[in-house]
Amino acid sequence: MDLQQELEQEACWKLELDKVTKLDPSKKKKKKKKRPFIREDATYDSEPDYGYAELLSRVFDMLREEEVSTERPRTVMMRRPQLLAQGTHITVCLDFAHLCTMMHRKPGHVITFLLGQMETKGWLNKQHQLEMKGLVSSQHFQAVFQRYIDAFVICSCCKSSDTALAEANGISTLSCEMMNMKLPPRRYTCKKMKDRLGFRFVLCSAVFMILTQHRALANSHGVNSEEEEWEMVQRKGQQFTLNGQPFYVNGFNTYWMMTLAADNSTRGKVTDVFQQASAVGLTVGRTWAFNDGQWRALQKSPSVYDEDVFKALDFVVSEARKYKIRLILSLVNNWNDYGGKAQYVKWGNASGLNLTSDDDFFTNPTLRDFYKSHVRTVLNRVNTFTNITYKNDPTIFAWELMNEPRCPSDPSGDKLQSWIQEMAVFVKSLDAKHMVEIGLEGFYGPSAPARTKFNPNPYAAQVGTDFIRNNQALGVDFASVHVYPDAWISPAVSDTFLEFTNSWMQAHVEDAEMYLGMPVLFTEFGVSAHDPGFNTSFRDMMLNTVYKMSLNSTRKGGAGAGSLVWQVFPQGAEFMDDGYAVYLTRAHTASKIISLQSKRLAIFNSLCGWRCKWGCKKKNHTALDALLSHDDEL
């Protein structure tokens, strides 16, 4: 390179420097105070010591002058496609027009891709719904739909969904704002472009430094950095995820925690539960966020609450957070214990209504409003221990609409379905961050007559619940199932309990994958010490059976998301024992089984990201293989 070329290049560098380093247009003449451009081959002994405010201002001034966008690529929040089978020959996508509108794509283009991928025929009906020949599973349809989004919606450069689709000569091309961004009319040599990219690197480093300073400042004022990492569990497809990793659940139930926390003499039992559960690796607990009109009632009458009991619930949530355990909070009971729907009916009659059935809870507008008011109060509650609003607290894993809802006065299931649809959307309208589940036992109903053979008895199909149909309601994030062969089949302990458990769990995992496209969590299971023929060895066999079935799905990355044993008790709480209690400090074999399952799931949760295949050879499976080999222990 001759001298003239070097001088020209140096002039270009200085021109770039003048553009990116000026802080105030009014100070153009004070060029001597500007920091010289840093060349790759130059070294400096020191640099200006900027303060926090000055450094922050400098960064944003540079961003504005460089016209570097600070906006994140816009994304489109899309709900899960709603499919409905019409007989055995037609499947309808009810919200197809809405999905196309959200993507800004012509329905004809979407239909051509979907039908070609699924190798079937289809058409738009008069309601602009997509009708497809044959039975199409929700999981398969969502997978094909996701492929369309990846190919024709998401920009491969900036990952933005704000794109346009252009077609020419039968070829479709994507364009977005970043692709169409107008650059300055000057020509840039490779060296100059490298300098611009270098500037962006320095700029990002400055932002990182500012954020680091800010975090250090926050920590100096008592903010725990570990608390900032306590994120919410989310659902992606048929898995739970946490920070991009799978989150399979080994959990427990202890329903009475709020009640005992309301009394200082028994509050310590709540801490004992979380401490012991954490010691064996349990990560999710389930408990009541209701007690309606009973002893130590949370809700003494509609919208009238006992603040001391509410503070007890605050304590339960804060202790769960302390031990890194997340909570499923149930909002009302189907049964009379702790008030339930029967108490709401009593309140309705006391206010002048003429209600004759507990199932009026699901249909009467006044009782629906009573329930909504309770939901609103709980979700908007500010925890007096943590100062975090419930609906913003990652400690809460999910909201449960009702514990074991049933509506036997309407075997068709229409009444309960209407209630679920209204309440799931209502909860989501107040809290879009947390997941919602119904609280079902898992009985199959009229919408899936071929699946009723898996029900434990004929009566189960007549209680107004419908596992597949109920969980297809908008706003429901995952399915729940209970496992109680002793309550549903026969109180006498026998091997049929284990056989039923295997078939019951397998059927629901299959349905969650084929029809629902969501995780299924077995939120209650156990066997009672009051059952004829009960012994702790059989209880341990029940634990083994449930854990094996759950693990079989986990190994495949399936929809079986985990299980919660009913229920964990500390010593000294025997007066609350319903026969199903597992005392971890003295049930040594059961504790080992639970702990081993926790270790296995913890390793699965750390193996891969959500989209990675479980057969990925990039990960070290040695520790997992060692645990999975102990089949005699599980």
pLDDT tens digits along 405-463: 999 999 999 999 999 999 999 999 999 999 999 999 999 999 999 999 999 999 999 99
- Do 176 and 278 belong to one domain? no
- Do 308 and 407 belong to one domain? yes
**Is the pLDDT reported for residue 366 higher than 70?**
yes
Which residues are CB-neighbours of 443 under 8 A, at least 6 positions away? Answer: 455, 460, 461, 463, 465, 466, 467
Evaluated on CA atoms 240, 242, 244, 250, the torsion sign reads negative
Is there a domain that residue 47 lies in?
no
Is there a domain that residue 628 lies in?
no
pLDDT band at 64 (very low <50, low <70, confident <90, very high): low
Residue 244: what pLDDT? 87
Is there a domain that residue 10 lies in?
no
Residue 408: what pLDDT? 97
Is there a domain that residue 9 lies in?
no
Distance CA 193, CA 188 (A): 6
pLDDT band at 56 (very low <50, low <70, confident <90, very high): low
- Do 177 and 238 belong to one domain? no
Is there a domain that residue 580 lies in?
yes
Greater pLDDT, 151 or 251: 251
Mean pLDDT of 92-120: 86
- Do 283 and 137 belong to one domain? no
- Do 152 and 240 belong to one domain? no
- Do 109 and 240 belong to one domain? no
Q: Which of 400, 437, 441, 524 is catalytic?
A: 524
- Do 178 and 263 belong to one domain? no
Helices 190-220 and 3-21: crossing angle in degrees, nearest 10, is: 30
Question: H-helix or E-strand containing 313?
Answer: helix 307-322
Greater pLDDT, 213 or 94: 94
pLDDT band at 226 (very low <50, low <70, confident <90, very high): very low
pLDDT band at 515 (very low <50, low <70, confident <90, very high): very high
Q: Which of 414, 475, 405 is nearest to 441 (CA)?
A: 405
**Is the pLDDT reported for residue 335 higher than 60?**
yes
**Is the pLDDT reported for residue 11 higher than 80?**
no
DSSP alpha helices (H): ranges in 35-131?
A: 52-66, 96-103, 107-118
Distance CA 251, CA 264 (A): 26
Task: For tokens 């010490």, name the residue.
Answer: 529
- Mean pLDDT, the chain, rounded, equals 82
pLDDT band at 161 (very low <50, low <70, confident <90, very high): confident
Is there a domain that residue 450 lies in?
yes
Strand order in the sheet with 83-86: 83-86, 90-93, 130-133, 122-124
Is there a domain that residue 222 lies in?
no
Q: Are 414 and 437 in contact (CB under 8 A)?
A: no
Residue 59: what pLDDT? 65
Residue 69: what pLDDT? 43
pLDDT band at 114 (very low <50, low <70, confident <90, very high): confident
Q: Which of 225, 325, 331 is nearest to 275 (CA)?
A: 325
Range in 31-40, 322-331, 340-349 the model is least confident about: 31-40
Residue 220: what pLDDT? 41
Listed residues 183, 212, 245: the one ending a domain: 183
Residue 625: what pLDDT? 58
Residue 130 belongs to domain spanning: 83-183
**Is the pLDDT reported for residue 129 higher than 50?**
yes
Listed residues 162, 183, 204: the one ending a domain: 183
Mean pLDDT of 122-151: 86
- Do 167 and 251 belong to one domain? no
Residue 234: what pLDDT? 96
Which residues are CB-neighbours of 440 under 8 A, at least 6 positions away? Answer: 404, 405, 465, 467, 470, 471, 479, 480, 481, 482
Residue 28: what pLDDT? 47
Residue 624: what pLDDT? 56
Range in 4-8, 69-73, 181-185, 225-229 the model is least confident about: 181-185
- Backbone dihedral angles phi then psi of residue 284, each to the nearest 5 degrees: -135, 135
Residue 98: what pLDDT? 87
- Do 163 and 304 belong to one domain? no
- Do 115 and 241 belong to one domain? no
Residue 540: what pLDDT? 97
Mean pLDDT of 521-532: 97
Residue 51: what pLDDT? 64
Mean pLDDT of 14-27: 43
Evaluated on CA atoms 320, 322, 323, 324, the torsion sign reads positive
Greater pLDDT, 114 or 88: 114
Residue 155: what pLDDT? 75
- Do 156 and 294 belong to one domain? no
Q: Counting beta carbons within 10 angstroms of the beta carbon of residue 5, is it exposed (0 to 12), middle (13 to 18) or buried (19 or more)? A: exposed
Range in 172-176, 408-412, 597-601, 602-606 the model is least confident about: 172-176
Is residue 6 flagged as an active site residue?
Answer: no
Total structural domains in the chain?
A: 2
Residue 158: what pLDDT? 66
Prediction pTM value: 0.67
- Do 303 and 179 belong to one domain? no
pLDDT band at 513 (very low <50, low <70, confident <90, very high): very high
Other CB atoms within a 10 A radius of the CB of residue 374 amount to: 21
Question: H-helix or E-strand containing 437?
Answer: strand 435-437
Is there a domain that residue 632 lies in?
no
Distance CA 181, CA 452 (A): 58
Residue 292: what pLDDT? 98
Residue 592: what pLDDT? 97
Greater pLDDT, 524 or 169: 524
**Is the pLDDT reported for residue 304 higher than 80?**
yes
Mean pLDDT of 87-93: 84
Mean pLDDT of 261-272: 96
Mean pLDDT of 505-509: 97
Distance CA 574, CA 580 (A): 11
Residue 228: what pLDDT? 44
**Is the pLDDT reported for residue 150 higher than 90?**
no
CATH of the domain at 541: 3.20.20.80
Q: Which two tokens stand for residue 54?
A: 């000055």
Is residue 404 flagged as an active site residue?
Answer: yes
pLDDT band at 379 (very low <50, low <70, confident <90, very high): very high
CATH of the domain at 108: 3.30.30.170
Q: Which of 400, 404, 437, 513 is catalytic?
A: 404
